[in-house]
Structure 1
Amino acid sequence: MTEIAETPQQARWAGLAALVGGACVIGTVPILVRLADAGPAATGFWRMVFALPILAVMSARAAPNAFAAPSRPVLIAGAMFSLDLAFWHYGITFTSVANATVLANLTPLIVTGIAWLVFKQRPERLFLVAVAVAVSGAWIMAAAKGDAPGKAPLVGDLLSAATAVWYALYMLAIGRARQVEGAMRVMFWSTLASMVMLLAAALLLGERLTPASLGGWLACVGLGVVHVAGQGAIAWALGRLPTSTASVVVLVQPVVAAILGWMLFNEALGPWQALGGAVALSGVVLAQWASRGRRA
């Protein structure tokens, strides 16, 4: 994606469109992870492996200095994203999908809190209400799934809660990096850093490194493509929107996942899930209304 001159209003709407599109693409990840039959961290590793060549080509075309030494925020983003994937994949194996989804969706609260306390980005009261509404909608959707508790609920819950922290730190680091660097360069180096860390984690944990079937390999390839399209769009959008706003908008992910589960796997979309989706999307719209006057 190329950077072009645009007014603040145009930048905000372009960033919002890219962010919603990226979040919708990322909403397909749980389906692909379910089909990839490698270890949890190893699945994340292959996602980065298949994404990296695409990002390398796009980075080389976007900027002449694409492969110069990365900045500290970019490396931090890569480390945080690898922790996010590893903790999420393991957390969902120990606790219920409902609990893991609820706890992972605490990201907007963490992002808003850190941006307020550390970066002095004081949110409007209406924006805080929007965060609460969006997170409540995601919680209703997840709780309505009614899954079994899992084989180690406390461990899974702790891992899933940590997932929200890692993803919040990832978004903040990406937001900082995007103030001075292009989206594709940021994505290339953060993906490379994540790939190295996820491979190390898979080896240390004794995971099976390679998928056992052709379908598993295809799912890993799909994850690589989704990573480029989804996280790339989010990284591009973070150059145009406040990180706290972006963290709320990406809550469309569980809504997309529920709709895809209904369409592809004939999973029932009950009234409570439909209500939760409507509430989450209302929170997203309210967040945009509250931040309409901010500059990217």
Structure 2
Amino acid sequence: MADAVADTHAAHRWQALAVLVMGACIIGLAAILVRLSDAGPVATGFWRLVFATPLLALMAQRAGGLRGAPSKWALLAGVFFALDLGFWHYGIQYTSVANATVLPNLTPVVVTAFAWIFLRQRPRALFLVAVAAAVVGASMMAIGKTGGTPRNQPLGDALSLFTAFWYALYFLAITEGRKGEGASRIMFWAGLAGAPLLLAAGAVMGEQLVPVTTAGWLACLGLGLMHVTGQGSIAWAMGRLPTPTASVVVLVQPVVAAALGYLLFAEHIGPLQGLGAAVTLGGVVLAQWASRARPA
């Protein structure tokens, strides 16, 4: 009986891991679509949530309905995700592409620390090694990328660093919310909470709020679909996996983004970037192996 339960648990874990990897790969499309959008950086995030909301509402309705007030975790997730998008998009505007890529990849470090301190999810030493390897690999992928002369590097670096902090808090809020709500429901309420904040921020920053071309609208629509399938998959999987493990696995995103940049925009991938991708994926695999339940 114990063996059967263990086998079932392992099967569910691998299913959640597969869904998480799929979601992370889909999210890897985000940078490509943001580049194709002709609205402002924060405004693009607003349209991403706007186009995602009707689909999330339909999914939540089919999964059990939207009756009742949203949980505080869903609302917090929306606030943290809006801050994540706003800080990251503007960090790219002010600092180098390399720094804007490296600093947000500190998310697993922040998540692991928060989960250890506040959720009492004490990591194994091997897991900490895996986190370090994945972050170093993602950093190697950013080294050598050119991004022009930074407009205000200290400000851009600070915004990019805070991106890791906000995304970590988003991860933790989703994890806590998933203990009592379905993925589509919490994503729906998070989107409703985050969208007005992004619109207001875009207006205050004097951005172009509305796409002016068909391609821009299609890019925003694509971001909405990506949000439902990508972030939705991540939210679903996070209800079934330890928070630190999930935060490391989603580091496959820069690998996917680099591959798409090479295929679609002919962006060069040198030996160092290739090695960084291998190290990142190796760290992800090691983190998954290290976070398996210890045998009794």
**Residue type matched to 1:45 in 2?**
F
Q: Residues 105-144 of structure 1 correspond to what in structure 2 (within 5 A)?
A: 105-144=105-144
* Residue number in structure 2 paired with 1:54: 55
**Cα offsets for 1:69-127 (capped at 9, x unmatched):** 11111110000000000001100011111100000100000000011111111100000
> Structure 1 residue 257 and structure 2 residue 257: aligned?
yes
**Contact 1:127–1:287 at 8 Å: present in 2 too?**
yes
Per-residue deviation at 1:149? 4.1
5+ long unaligned stretches in structure 2: none
Range moving further from structure 2, 139-148 or 242-251: 139-148
**Which 5+ residue runs of structure 1 have no aligned equivalent?**
none
Q: Please name the residue that 2:9 is paired with.
A: 8
Deviations 1:233-285 (A, max 9, x none): 00000011011000000000000000111111122211111000000000000
Distance 1:256 1:34 in 2: 15
Matching residue of 2:174: 174
What TM-score do you get using the length of structure 1 for normalisation? 0.95
Deviates more, 1:199-208 or 1:25-34: 199-208
Does 2:204 correspond to 1:204?
yes
AA in 1 matched with 2:216: G
Q: After superposition, give the CA deviation of every residue in 1:140-184 in whole Å (9 maximum; x if it has no partner).
A: 001131433411111100000000000000000000000111111
2:30 equivalent in structure 1:
29
| Matching residue's letter, 2:193 | A
Distance in 2 between the 1:21 and 1:144 partners? 28
What amino acid does structure 1 have at the position aligned with 2:167? Y
Aligned twin of 1:88: 88
Give the residue type in structure 1 aligned to 2:203: L
Residue 62 (structure 1) shift? 0.7
Partners in 2 of 1:110 and 1:57 — Cα distance?
33
State how far apart, in whole Å, the 2-side matches of 1:48 and 1:59 are.
15
Q: Which residue of 1 aligns with 2:245?
A: 245
1:112 touches 1:244 (CA, 8 Å); kept in 2? Answer: yes
Confirm or deny: 8 A CA contact 1:36 1:216 kept in the other structure: yes
Supply the AA of the counterpart residue of 2:232.
G
Which residue in the other structure is 1:293 paired with?
Answer: 293
Q: 1:197-240 CA deviation, whole Å, 9 max, x = no partner?
A: 11121122222210121111110000000000100000000011
Q: Aligned pair count?
A: 290
Cα gap change, 1:234 to 1:294, in 2 (>3 Å): farther
Deviates more, 1:6-15 or 1:265-274: 6-15
Cα distance between partner residues in 1 of 2:294 and 2:184? 25
Say which SS state the counterpart of residue 123 (structure 2) adopts.
Answer: coil
Secondary structure of residue in 2 paired with 1:44: helix
1-structure distance, mates of 2:294, 2:10: 9
Distance 1:103 1:75 in 2: 26
2:184 equivalent in structure 1:
184
Structure 1 residues 92-101 or 259-268, which shifts more? 259-268
Change (3 A) 1:151 1:272: same
CA–CA separation in structure 1 for the residues paired with 2:205 and 2:27: 26
Cα distance in 1 for residues equivalent to 2:189 and 2:280: 32
1:19 aligned partner, one-letter code: L
After superposition, residues 270-281 of structure 1 pair within 5 angstroms as 270-281=270-281
**Identity value in percent:** 61
Distance 1:235 1:223 in 2: 17
1:67, 1:185 within 8 Å by CA — same for their partners in 2?
no
Paired residues of 1:91 and 1:156 also in contact (CA < 8 A): yes
The answer to whether the aligner puts 1:266 opposite 2:273 as a matched pair is no
Give how far 1:9 is off.
Answer: 1.3
Q: Distance in 1 between matches of 2:294 and 2:238?
A: 13
Aligned mates of 1:63, 1:285 — CA distance in 2: 35
